[in-house]
Each structure stands twice: as structure tokens, then as C-alpha cells.
Amino acid sequence: MKETLVKVTHDMGFACDGLREALNKASSVEGLVILELIRRANEVRRDVEALLNAYLADAAASADSNS
């Protein structure tokens, strides 16, 4: 699961980068929509990072208890 969550975190970063690039080429109205998409993509990226951190903490705790 760790590898999948790391990949998703990177993918969401690329999505945010692509949306920022699109924002530079967007009209005013398009920009408003893209800004919301960037906000939501960043939120998903942060949520996935939090899940990854929780997973890693749980894995570390499990490893400590097995020692």
C-alpha cells in the first residue's frame, strides 16, 4: 500500500502543476474554475499524504511491537 500512496501523492502533485499551467493560459472565467480545481487537488494530495503518514506510523508501531 505504501508504494501506491506514494505514487498517488506524486500524481496529485503533477495534477496540481498541470492545473497551474492551465491557469496561466485561462480566461478569467476559466481561471475561477481552475483555481477551485487546484484547491481540491491540493486537498486530496494532503489527505493522501496524511493517510500515508498514518500508514507509516502504524507500520513502525507494528514493527516495534514485534521486536
pLDDT tens-digit map of 20-59: 999 999 999 999 999 999 999 999 999 999 999 999 999 8
For position 30, what pLDDT does the model report?
97
**Measured distance CA(37)–CA(66) in Å, rounded:** 43
Sign of the C-alpha dihedral, residues 32, 36, 42, 45? negative
What separation in angstroms does the CA of 26 have from each of 11, 19, 21? 22, 10, 9
- Model confidence at 66: pLDDT above 80: no
Nearest C-alpha neighbor of 48 from the set 21, 26, 16, 24 = 16
**What's the pLDDT score for residue 63?**
84
Q: Are 12 and 38 in contact (CB under 8 A)?
A: no
Q: What is the pLDDT of residue 65?
A: 81
pLDDT for res 64: 81
